[in-house]
């Protein structure tokens, strides 16, 4: 584990390192509507911005774009008897969730469906 990586709880490890999924509607980050950034729980890299967050109604924090190009990477996921596109942190390869093509059509059309347990929110003040 790199020095910059944080110690994770058993449940965080299950999701982040074991490619798990947190229960629907269990994340405190679902209702965050403050200005800020969402960082990787394991390494602290900025992944998403509150500016790109939207309510998808799916039960997981959803974003239509990443904060900066290359903040996350994707790879094919054929687990659970289906083919999906997994989203991972481009820095430490923590499992974050999946991306789908059913996001806001007036934006990117993408829905990054992310496990809130894999993220930390940092509020940015309006100084």
Residue positions annotated with a catalytic role: 113
Among 127, 122, 124, which Cα is nearest to 40's? Answer: 122
Q: Among positive and negative, which fits the CA dihedral 94, 88, 104, 46?
A: positive
- The alpha carbon torsion through 106, 111, 116, 117 (nearest 10 deg) reads -160
Q: How far apart are CA 19 and CA 87, in angstroms?
A: 10
Helical residues (DSSP H) of the chain, grouped into ranges: 10-16
Give kind and range of the element (H or E) at residue 62: strand 62-63
């Amino acid at each position: 584990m790199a020095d910059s990586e944080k110690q994770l709880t058993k449940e965080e490890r299950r999701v982040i390192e074991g490619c798990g999924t947190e229960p629907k509607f269990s994340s405190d980050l679902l209702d965050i509507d403050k200005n800020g950034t969402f960082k990787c729980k394991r390494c602290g890299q900025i992944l998403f911005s509150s500016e790109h967050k939207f309510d998808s109604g799916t039960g997981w924090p959803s974003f239509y774009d990443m904060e900066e190009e290359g903040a996350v990477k994707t790879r094919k996921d054929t687990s659970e008897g289906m083919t999906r596109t997994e989203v991972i942190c481009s820095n430490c390869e923590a499992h974050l969730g999946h991306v789908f093509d059913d996001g806001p059509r007036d934006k990117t059309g993408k829905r990054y469906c992310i496990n809130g347990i894999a993220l930390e929110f940092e509020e940015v003040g309006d100084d």
